[in-house]
Amino acid sequence: MKKNEKELVGVKEIARRANVSIATVDRVLHNRTGVSEKTKQKINDIIKELDYKPNILARRLASSKTMHLYTLIPEVSEETDYWSVPLQGIIQAEKEIMLYNVKIEKLFYDMNDRESFMKQTKVILQSESVDGVLLAPAFIEEAIAFTDVCQKRKIPFVFINSNIPNRKNLSYFGPDLFYSGYTAAHLVDYLVGKSDQILLMNIAKDINSDYHILKKEEGFTEYFVANNPERIIKQNLDKTDYQSVKKTVAKALRDYPDIRLIFVTNSRVSLVAKYLLEKKTEDMLLVGYDFLDRNIEFLNKGVIDFLICEKPQEQAYRGIKALYRYLMFEEKQEKEYLMPIDIIHRENQRFYRN
């Protein structure tokens, strides 16, 4: 195999200083047998002195071995196109590394169906070659079971969007969910009067196991512990179609006439915005999540007042690159890479990127 010129000069210099052959240095670099401990120690001391690093990338390019990465994120649905954004981050990273013998298998599951998640994890674990996994863990118990197997098989995995505590994941790329909710509460507190009520809406099929929503709700309510928590009216809605959202919001506004602001803990804020626009409710403030086309449309119409955004495209992009760099160069990765918690309004949205 023809070596990179810079690497060859390095190996030659190590061999010259150690008074051994290039082949002997190569055996030490690749941890092969046939070299005495005394000679091995001498060569390793010289390597350390020269701060020599083998050209791993050149070796990889010369090798026929393919790095197999798997991604498992929710599929885009009629309810929300949020997951199209992380997918763009995966594709962006893939374009940058595909020339280095890297193949990415993209798998998707239904956010409303635990079985679909479990089915896709089995596909990954039954694959002949799995070098690393990027995972958006919506179903906590099932994600823990899957990553337990990954740990046993020494398959590195990265979380995006939502973290699971006490896992041996390589990295997490996403927001601090507690402080995302806390930040939202701080913003909301500026927007309404001290006696105004706030409707907090969780709109998801399986709210009680949705770590992402639960941690944001925890942060939001924690802020109001010292700021009149009785003002918060909470509604959990496990039916995510528009008619169900419409019915729930209408009833809440009838039952609690002092509600002046609605806070939605995920990207389905557009469903609430659609209802408010239909009812021409101009004095109701609305805050939700995610920089998506549907949400931006309502933001520009003045129905949504603020969107809280956490750069989902960058999360996925950085997650893939972290796996790649760890596997390719054995680089240690940050355990947590927390995304900024951005507040977007009608005036600054044109300058924002996910």
pTM for this predicted structure: 0.83
| Cα distance between residue 108 and residue 345, in whole Å | 31
Q: Do residues 146 and 190 share a domain?
A: no
Q: Is pLDDT at 4 greater than 50 in this prediction?
A: no
**Are 165 and 256 contained in the same domain?**
no
Q: How confident is the model at residue 53 (pLDDT cuts 50, 70, 90)?
A: low
Q: What are phi and psi of 96, to 5 degrees?
A: -80, -25
**What is the per-residue pLDDT across 185-203, written as a single tens digit (0 to 9) for each?**
999 999 999 999 999 999 9
Q: What is the CATH number of the domain that holds 170?
A: 3.40.50.2300
Confirm whether 116 is domain-assigned. yes
Give the residue, 79 or 225, on which the prediction is more confident. 225
Give mean pLDDT, residues 135-164: 95
Q: Which residue range is the domain that position 208 belongs to?
A: 177-309
Number of H helices, E strands in the chain: 13, 12
- 352 in any annotated domain: no
- Tell me, yes or no, whether 170 and 182 share the same domain: no
> Range with the lowest mean pLDDT among 16-30, 257-271, 295-309?
16-30
Report yes or no on 252 lying in a domain: yes
Amino acid at 30: H
Q: How far apart are the first and last CA of the chain?
A: 43
- Domain match, 181 and 305 both: yes
For the stretch 234-292, pLDDT in tens is 999 999 999 999 999 999 999 999 999 999 999 999 999 999 999 998 899 999 999 99
Number of domains present in the structure of the chain: 3
Confidence of residue 55 (pLDDT cuts 50, 70, 90): low
Q: What are phi and psi of 261, to 5 degrees?
A: -150, 140
